[in-house]
Structure formats: C-alpha cells, structure tokens
Amino acid sequence: MNKQGLAKHTQAHDGRIPWLIIGAGPTGLGAARQLERCGCHDWLLLDAGTQPGGLAASFSDAKDFVWDIGGHVLFSHYDYFDQAMDEALTKDNWLSHRRESWIWMRDRFIPYPLQNNIHRLPPDDLNHCLQGLVDITRSPRPAPKNFKEWLEATFGPGLMDVFLQPYNFKVWAHQPEALNAKWVGERVAVTDLGKTLKRLVYQTDDSTWGPNNTFQFPRHGGTGSIWKACANRLPPDQILLNTRVAKLDIGRHIVTTTDGREFGYDRLISTMPLDDCLRISDQARFASLAEHGLLFSSSHIIGLGLQGKPRPDVAGKCWMYFPEDNCPFYRATVFSNYSPNNVPDINRYWSLMLEVSESQNRPVDSACVLEDVIQGALNTKLIERREDLVTTWHYRAGHGYPTPGLQRDEALAEIIPFLEQQDVYSRGRFGLWKYEVSNQDHSFMQGVELVERLVNGRKEITAFDADHANAVKHPWPFARWGNS
Ligand SMILES: Cc1cc2nc3c(=O)[nH]c(=O)nc-3n(C[C@H](O)[C@H](O)[C@H](O)COP(=O)(O)OP(=O)(O)OC[C@H]3O[C@@H](n4cnc5c(N)ncnc54)[C@H](O)[C@@H]3O)c2cc1C
C-alpha cells in the first residue's frame, strides 16, 4: 500500500472524503470502478479482510488446493458485467463449462430440477408426485401468502413431501413458510404437466432448464482471482485492506475503524451486512425491524481434497443437491472440474466442496461439522474411502444467505430511505438483503448503478426491480434509461 495515500486519507477527517466505500467485494469494487469511469477519483475503500473479493474470494490451503466460499458459478445478466470480466481476466484465463447439475436421492442421481424429471423416481414417489400435480390442476389454490404455499400451489403435495420441503429447509435453514413468495422469479423451475407426462412416457430427461446452463470459471486462483484482478485495476493506495469499520456516526458522517482511525465522508457506500451497519451506528430504533425482517443463514463450506479419481458417475458432474438426511450438506461441487488448477496435480487429485447451512432453526456444531460432512460424503457414495483424503478445509461465513423473509421488504422500505437521507447508501448481497439480486453480477451492478444514480441521476434497476433485472440481458447503457 502506498504510504502517502494512506497518510492523505487518515487525515481526511476535516476535509471529508467525497466517496467512502465499505467492502471490497463485488459491490464495492463495482462502485469504485464506476466512480473512476465517471471521473470521480476521490474515493477510498475500506475492507476488513486480507484480500479483495468478500464472499467471492478464494483461498489456497497448505497442500495447494484452491477453495471458493461455496461453488461460485459466474453468470451474467449484463453486457457491462461481461466487459468488466473480459477486462479483469484475458480470454486464455477463462474456462467454459456446460452445467451438469444433479440431485442425489433414493440412492440414484436425477437431473436437476426434480420437478422436470420425476420419471426417474421410484414408483411410489413418482405416483405421489403425479397425484399432486393432477390435484393442483383440479383445484387451483388461492394466492400464496408465503413460499411454502407457493410451492404447494405450484407443485402439489407429492413433490413437496418428496423433495421441496426437505431440500428447501436444508438450503435456507428456515422453514419455507418463513420466506415470502415474491423472490422466486427465474430461480425455481415451474412444471408443465403435459411435458412431465411426455417425459414419463418417453423416459427423456430435461436438464437444460435455468439461467445458468453454461458458465465460465477462472483457469487459475478460483473465483477470487476475478476480484483480485478487478481490484488490481484500481489505484492501490485507495483500497485499505485489514481495515474493519467498528463505528459509524451517521449524523457527523464519520466512520471509525477498530484501530481508532477516523474517516469523514460526504457519501458512504456501505456493502457490509445491513444489520451490522445498523448495530455499529447505534440505530436502536430499527432493532426490532432488523430482527424480524433481516433473517439470514450462515454457511459452512467444507473442502475435501482427495487422491485418485472420482467415481465415474460423479466424475463429469459440476454440482449435486442432497435433500435427504443421510448427510448434512445440501450441495456438493466437484471443484476440480471447474479448473484442473484447483488441485495441485489433476492426474493425482480431485476435490469436492460441500455446503452446510446454519441458523437458530438449524444449529450446526462447528467442532463436528467436518466429521459429519465426511461421513455424509461416504453415506451418499460421493467418496469411497476415508483414506483417500489428503486435505480438508473449513470456512464459516457468518452471513451466507440473505433470507427473503416475510417482513424483509417492509423492513427495507423503512431502513434504506432513512439511511439515504443521511447519505448512507447500503447495497450488495447483505447491504440490500435481496437474495434475488445477490449473485456476483447483480452485486457488482448494484455498485455500478448506484454510482450512475448519484453522479448522473440515472435510475437503479437491479436494486429495486429484481424482476426486470433478471428478465433480460441488459445492454449498456440500460435500455430503460433511454437517452437520458
Ligand atoms: C455459499 C455461497 C455460494 C455462492 N454461489 C454463488 C454463485 O454460484 N454465483 C454467484 O454469482 N454468486 C454466488 N454467491 C454470491 C456471491 O458471493 C456474492 O454475490 C458476492 O460476494 C456479494 O458481493 P458483495 O460485495 O455484495 O458482498 P460481500 O462479498 O459479502 O463483500 C462485503 C465486504 O465487506 C467487508 N466488510 C464487512 N463488514 C465490514 C466492516 N465492518 N468493515 C470493513 N469491511 C467490512 C467484507 O470483508 C467483504 O469483503 C455465493 C455466496 C455464497 C455464500
């Protein structure tokens, strides 16, 4: 880090920093990049971590295995994001993959999503699912009040019992009735009974559904290498790592770091979790709204580095879902398939990354989770022998998934405008708490679009119109902005 730059900014208390950013994840880096492009060079970015990337960072362990915080698949709804990615890594540094996503249940692999491939189920389960699908066509249900009701109305009781209820609880660590029904959008495949019957008769699979049926991954360094490269394109003395914000004085426009440094600002772009932001700024008035509106789950990521090769039926897969209770994880990624460089020698090793969700409703004992995951990997036949393990890795993300809870939108509608009146703009996966727009492309664009709004008066789309953000691939500038 450039000492002159640091000295300049630690003295900025009187002469406020025009743009202060908290967080060097995709959102903060998107904001910084767009500030530079708009000619606003007087910004400073603070991050508590040792490297840029936030939840999209990667880590190398002592045995040279590379790990992400859960299998990160890069998908883009935006031309702007594509350009930024092309700029970050050269063409040679990207690998392209066709999605191979599967479900392991009833001792077999079934292509994802299950609702499109129920013909692969054993007869009793198949019958139960089909009965449910017929029921819902016979007796349409009233508008759903929550995600559980939406699932029941859309898929019927059979699919709910067989897969959707257990799987969703495992992923969210909250019961589906605690989630709202509005976030769903493109993220859950709906079923067409006619097509389901045709696939049953002809025994054909549907594995093409979804927004991310092809994806790109960095050749070296995991997902985090993207965000390191993005950060490296910005002035280094304006990004202060190892700098945790401990206090936010909203009225006086000052943040204080854990080591006592103070930074005055004109505008604060905060990408730290919104509940933490309210806590460090002593906004007790929002305590109850935040407690009930800002539900979340934590994510345990377990990496298993193995010698040899995966079993043939695991070898070609990207990721797999696990709804049953014979393992604690809901998803496993064959991470060595994303890049051979995720393991030290692809001819000798392979790697798996497994995700376990945690909340007060689904407690996880950190001390036991590694062992439980290994046992689960054996139970589900993902790995054959414990002796093949050459390394293990465990990472706990306190804030992992922002739950789209029933009272979330109500809470955001009060908190976000209040903060904005005080020149605090909270954006990003946990800054805005909108799961439906919280992937890397969305988060990055939230940062970009916020700057466009504040500098050029343009309307933010990703943050406030998730359906439109997810509906099309967006040109740059956005079509909705017209010539403004
Ligand atoms: C298990 C899992 C799987 C995922 N899979 C995918 C996927 O397949 N595809 C995809 O596109 N996305 C995926 N994501 C989402 C992706 O990680 C996020 O979109 C992205 O990281 C969000 O960026 P952000 O900048 O909003 O927040 P973050 O990445 O959380 O960054 C916030 C930053 O703020 C910093 N910070 C927090 N508090 C403070 C403080 N007090 N002081 C200073 N700094 C602070 C943190 O250190 C962090 O660097 C996944 C996430 C998880 C958890």
Mutate to test the pocket of ligand 1, among 34, 51, 72, 226 (most ligand atoms within 8 A of CB): 72
Tens digits of per-residue pLDDT, 59-95? 999 999 999 999 899 999 999 999 999 999 999 999 9
| Whether the CB of 293 sits within 6 Å of ligand 1 | no
- Residue the block writes with tokens 């919280």: 438
Question: What pLDDT score was predicted for residue 211?
Answer: 57
| Whether the CB of 28 sits within 6 Å of ligand 1 | yes
| Whether the CB of 224 sits within 6 Å of ligand 1 | no
Distance CA 475, CA 461 (A): 13
Distance CA 415, CA 136 (A): 39
Going by C-alpha positions, the residue among 441, 439, 474 that lies closest to residue 187 is 439
Mutate to test the pocket of ligand 1, among 172, 242, 271 (most ligand atoms within 8 A of CB): 271
Cα four-point dihedral sign 447, 453, 455, 456: positive
| Whether the CB of 55 sits within 6 Å of ligand 1 | yes
Going by C-alpha positions, the residue among 91, 67, 98, 79 that lies closest to residue 397 is 67
CA–centroid distance, residue 429 to ligand 1 (Å): 6
Distance CA 395, CA 49 (A): 14
Tens digits of per-residue pLDDT, 372-429? 999 999 999 999 999 999 999 999 999 999 999 999 999 999 999 999 999 999 999 9
Phi, psi angle pair for 243, to nearest 5°: -125, 95
| Whether the CB of 299 sits within 6 Å of ligand 1 | yes
Cα four-point dihedral sign 417, 423, 425, 431: negative
CA–centroid distance, residue 132 to ligand 1 (Å): 38
Tens digits of per-residue pLDDT, 283-326? 889 999 999 999 999 999 999 999 999 999 999 999 999 999 99
| Closest atom of ligand 1 relative to the 401 alpha carbon | 53
pTM attached to this predicted model: 0.95
- Residue the block writes with tokens 């976000």: 416
Strand partners, 214: 98
Q: Whose CA is nearest to atom 39 of ligand 1?
A: 272
| Closest atom of ligand 1 relative to the 431 alpha carbon | 26
| Whether the CB of 72 sits within 6 Å of ligand 1 | yes
Q: Whose CA is nearest to atom 2 of ligand 1?
A: 70
CA–centroid distance, residue 401 to ligand 1 (Å): 10
Going by C-alpha positions, the residue among 433, 482, 45 that lies closest to residue 231 is 45
Is pLDDT above 70 for 356?
yes
Show Cβ contacts of residue 73 under 8 Å, excluding neighbours closer than 6 positions: 99, 212, 215, 217, 318, 319
Mutate to test the pocket of ligand 1, among 22, 34, 55 (most ligand atoms within 8 A of CB): 55
**Confidence category of residue 205, pLDDT binned at 50, 70, 90:** confident
pLDDT-above-70 percentage for the chain: 94
H-state helical runs in 18-146: 26-37, 79-88, 123-138
Q: Whose CA is nearest to atom 48 of ligand 1?
A: 54
Find the distance separating the first CA and the last CA of the chain, reported in whole Å: 39
Distance CA 279, CA 286 (A): 9
| Closest atom of ligand 1 relative to the 52 alpha carbon | 49
Three-class SS state of 350: strand
CA–centroid distance, residue 194 to ligand 1 (Å): 40
| Closest atom of ligand 1 relative to the 441 alpha carbon | 11
Domains of the chain: 3-58+224-291+405-481 (3.50.50.60), 60-100+295-402 (3.90.660.10), 121-193 (1.10.3110)
Distance CA 121, CA 359 (A): 31
**Confidence category of residue 108, pLDDT binned at 50, 70, 90:** very high
CA–centroid distance, residue 432 to ligand 1 (Å): 12
| Whether the CB of 57 sits within 6 Å of ligand 1 | no
| Closest atom of ligand 1 relative to the 70 alpha carbon | 1
